Amino acid sequence: MRQDKPIEERLKAKAAEIGFAACGIADADAAPQTAARLQAWLAEGAHGDMLWMEERAEQRGSPKGLWPEVRSVIALGMSYAPAADPLALAEEGEVGRISVYAQGADYHDVVKRRLKELARWLVAEAPGADVKVFVDTAPVMEKPLSEAAGLGWQGKHTNLVSRAHGSWLFLGAIYTTLELASDGPSGGSCGSCDACQTACPTDAFPAPYRIDARRCVSYLTIENKGPIPHAFREAIGNRIYGCDDCLAVCPWNKFAVAAQANLAFHPRAELTVPYLADLLALDDASFRTVFAGSPIKRIGRDRMMRNCLIAAGNSGSARLAPAATALLDDPAPVVRGAAIWALARLDPFRWQEARVARARSEADPQVRAEWDGLDSPAPPR
């Protein structure tokens, strides 16, 4: 690579070489409105039980709040554009739907490795520069920073939208003490399109460009540790990990090319059409084996069983009733509660028999509420 080219140009070429589909640069203070917007969102309680959003809000609101020495932010995107239609299994009741991003390798690991590789290159090119790399788990607002760096804009679904890659980008960031030339915002707009708002199964968007995580299927099936509120169970359908609906209907995704997706994110065959009956038979050890190397492993077996039981209850398939019955005595209350709901929908007679045998001896108040057909009381925060 020619050394007479500006370091910003060489940086972007290197990023493309190691697998990033998008790379842009922003000044560390290029998104000043982020902190106020975050505080307003937190004040509404729209983050639900994601208390870590509150705990490090000051650091999250500004790059310099996290690292005062940062001067430039390098925003990066790695494509995971799918080859298949993410909505294709919507009517397959006995099959669970897993969000596209979770059907391959864990993006945390893949993206972080590439970020570190690029950071090492940058330090070698600019001795004395300090760098820090971030992907998702740190208090970093990747989406507004990516917008400030010209990767795209935050759409009405609150995700980043790229003209070239649609919404199928994993975002990461490199903070550096280097003074790099900023790219600035690229512009872009959703216009009058409201496809994502209309597609949301649980009405999680109170207004364009705003999301209430407490209603979002991704939050309910991944971040939420307790029972899924009754009001959202039917709408969840057969989604067992995350939701792609608002992304899948975005017209900008027609420009995304699946061939540009990192090979690590290509779907594993067993996760593209997972049968609920098979998943409901998993104990903790087999869950860990099946989902080794997948981001799904992070939520643990109990939450996944809860999700699969909700999907089973929505399936209309009596063939799944025995699997639900078997989980009525599961050690985890969140699993037992979901099994009660699923069985009531799949086989009311068997549910009544089970209720007579188990309801009085149930010690957990949330599970007892399920036997009574009531929404589970929220645990204290």
**pLDDT tens digits for 96-125?**
999 999 999 999 999 999 999 999 999 999
Whether residue 224 is found in the same domain as residue 342 = yes
Q: pLDDT band at residue 206, thresholds of 50, 70 and 90?
A: very high
Whether residue 214 is found in the same domain as residue 360 = yes
What share of the chain has pLDDT > 90, as a percent? 83
| Domain encompassing residue 221 | 195-246+264-371
**Vertex 105: Cα angle to 111 and 167 (nearest 5):** 60
pTM over 0.85: yes
Q: pLDDT band at residue 32, thresholds of 50, 70 and 90?
A: confident
- How confident is the model over 336-350, as a mean pLDDT? 97
Q: Is residue 296 a part of any domain in this protein?
A: yes
Q: Is residue 311 a part of any domain in this protein?
A: yes
Q: Is residue 60 a part of any domain in this protein?
A: yes
- How confident is the model over 248-262, as a mean pLDDT? 89
Whether residue 114 is found in the same domain as residue 231 = no
**pLDDT tens digits for 47-61?**
988 987 888 878 888
**pLDDT tens digits for 303-339?**
999 999 999 999 999 999 999 999 999 999 999 999 9
pLDDT at residue 2 in the model: 59
Whether residue 131 is found in the same domain as residue 231 = no
The full 3-state SS of the chain, as one line of letters, equals: CCCCCCHHHHHHHHHHHCCCCEEEEEECCCCCCHHHHHHHHHHCCCCCCCHHHHHCHHHHCCHHHHCCCCCEEEEEEEECCCCCCCCCCCCCCCECEECHHHCCCCHHHHHHHHHHHHHHHHHHHCCCCCEEEECCCCCCCHHHHHHHCCCCEECCCCCEEECCCECCEEEEEEEECCCCCCCCCCCCCCCCCCHHHHHCCCCCCCECCECCHHHCHHHHHHHCCCCCCHHHHHHHCCEEECCCHHHHCCHHHHHCCHHHCCHHHCCCHHHHCCEHHHHCCCCHHHHHHHCCCCHHHHHHHHHHHHHHHHHHHHHCCHHHHHHHHHHHHCCCHHHHHHHHHHHHHHCHHHHHHHHHHHHHHCCCHHHHHHHCCCCCCCCCC
Mean pLDDT of the chain: 93
Q: Is residue 152 a part of any domain in this protein?
A: yes
Whether residue 112 is found in the same domain as residue 207 = no
- How confident is the model over 74-82, as a mean pLDDT? 96
pLDDT at residue 219 in the model: 97
Q: Is residue 123 a part of any domain in this protein?
A: yes
* pLDDT of 275 over the 60 cut: yes
pLDDT at residue 379 in the model: 43
- How confident is the model over 274-302, as a mean pLDDT? 96
Whether residue 159 is found in the same domain as residue 25 = yes
Catalytic residue, from 4, 27, 29, 136: name it: 136
Whether residue 228 is found in the same domain as residue 141 = no
pLDDT at residue 55 in the model: 80
pLDDT at residue 165 in the model: 92
For the ranges 32-46, 287-301, 312-326, which has the lowest average pLDDT? 32-46
* pLDDT of 227 over the 60 cut: yes
pLDDT at residue 380 in the model: 37
Whether residue 167 is found in the same domain as residue 273 = no
Q: Which two tokens stand for residue 37?
A: 């917007």
Query: Distances from the Cα of 105 to the Cαs of 9, 252, 268, 293, 352, in angstroms?
Result: 30, 25, 8, 6, 42
- How confident is the model over 237-266, as a mean pLDDT? 92
Q: Specify the number of domains making up the chain.
A: 2
* pLDDT of 184 over the 60 cut: yes
pLDDT at residue 121 in the model: 98
Whether residue 218 is found in the same domain as residue 367 = yes
* pLDDT of 191 over the 50 cut: yes
Whether residue 213 is found in the same domain as residue 131 = no
pLDDT at residue 376 in the model: 61
Whether residue 139 is found in the same domain as residue 13 = yes
Q: pLDDT band at residue 259, thresholds of 50, 70 and 90?
A: confident
Q: Is residue 380 a part of any domain in this protein?
A: no
Whether residue 165 is found in the same domain as residue 38 = yes
Q: Is residue 310 a part of any domain in this protein?
A: yes
Does residue 136 have an active-site annotation?
yes
Q: Is residue 182 a part of any domain in this protein?
A: no
Last residue of a domain, one of 146, 176, 206: 176
